[in-house]
Amino acid sequence: MYPFRTTIKMIGLVYNSQAPETVKMVAKLEKSVSLPKDYWKCAASELQEMNDVLPETSVIVVAGGDGTILRIVRVIAPHGIPMVGINMGRVGFMAELRVEEAVEMLPDYLEDGLRVEERMMLEATVVGPSESAPRLTLHALNDVVVGRGGVSGLLDIETTIDGVALTSYRADAVIVSTATGSTGYALSAGGPIMYPETRAMLIQPVAAHTGLSNGVILPDYSVIELHAGAAHEAVLSVDGFADMQLRPDDVVTIRRSPYITRFLRAHAPSTFYAALTRRLGLENL
């Protein structure tokens, strides 16, 4: 965490094209907020086409939910661009601004002095037994999951940590999560909640029949290997996007990513706990 000290040269406005209200929000920002002369806008699905302007972009404003943020992180993280999210989704653990306050408060996020919240990411590689180099490398803010494909049946997922065998999970899936992802799929599978800037990894099985049923929290320098047995089809999913079907002998290696995700924050770090109770519906319990 450090202060945001930069001269705003260019900002990007990114929206979820599948949600018409986000397009309207961006139009409202263009009309009502004094934006830098150099700004650009695009749908989250088209962000990869903006590679020519990303190196010059100082801040990205995201209109959408957590899913929209997860979709764009892979593209902007290598550039180190901080973002501020306008929550137009259902949960919104990562977006800070509410729709009704976006126009009034956004200018504060474009000035010096705000803090930058840094979130650890994961790197997942897939290597087959006859391959000398990974055929796929992906980066995740939330989680990396090895789970069942389209057929029923449990997977046997051999899990090692730093070369030492941990267990063979017989389960629907195994999640490797960051602290950010601990409030996502891992939480629904019974995992613990970690403060989002914690630099750690969580291994959490889903509906484990054998092996450990509890989550295991590891330091951020750990290297985790997952190998799903050949009895059933296994799929690799990164940040909720099913990226590829795994071959029977594939090994998925997960370690800390060289990239981080940056969020601009005006609120104190402790507001995470209030947001947690509100967004999980615990206020009146």
* 169-190 pLDDT per residue, tens: 999 999 999 999 999 999 999 9
pLDDT for residue 4: 53
Across the chain, mean pLDDT equals: 89
pLDDT for residue 88: 86
Which residue's structure tokens are 């507001």? 271
pLDDT for residue 271: 82
pLDDT for residue 37: 85
Greater confidence (130 vs 253) lies with 253
Residue 29 has pLDDT above 80, yes or no: yes
218: tokens are 């590891």
Average pLDDT rounded to a whole number, residues 181-204:
95
pLDDT for residue 113: 59
CATH no., domain 120-258: 2.60.200.30
| C-alpha 276: how far from chain center | 17
pLDDT for residue 241: 86
Average pLDDT rounded to a whole number, residues 229-243:
85
Residue 276 has pLDDT above 70, yes or no: yes
User: Residue ranges of the domains in the chain?
Assistant: 2-114+266-279, 120-258
* Catalytic hit among 38, 52, 66, 220: 66
Greater confidence (225 vs 110) lies with 225
Q: Do domains 2-114+266-279 and 120-258 have the same CATH topology?
A: no
Most confident of 100-109, 172-181, 202-211: 172-181
Q: Is 52 a catalytic residue?
A: no
Superfamily in which the 2-114+266-279 domain is placed by CATH: Probable inorganic polyphosphate/atp-NAD kinase; domain 1 (3.40.50.10330)
pLDDT for residue 278: 76
Residue 110 has pLDDT above 60, yes or no: yes
39: tokens are 């700004």
Q: How confident is the model at residue 6 (pLDDT cuts 50, 70, 90)?
A: low
pLDDT tens-digit profile of 131-160?
A: 888 989 999 999 999 998 766 678 999 999
Greater confidence (113 vs 153) lies with 153
pLDDT for residue 131: 85
Greater confidence (84 vs 267) lies with 84
Residue 209 has pLDDT above 70, yes or no: yes
Residue 31 has pLDDT above 90, yes or no: yes
Q: Would the pTM of this model clear 0.95, i.e. be above it?
A: no
Residue 23 has pLDDT above 70, yes or no: yes
Residue 5 has pLDDT above 60, yes or no: no
pLDDT for residue 178: 98
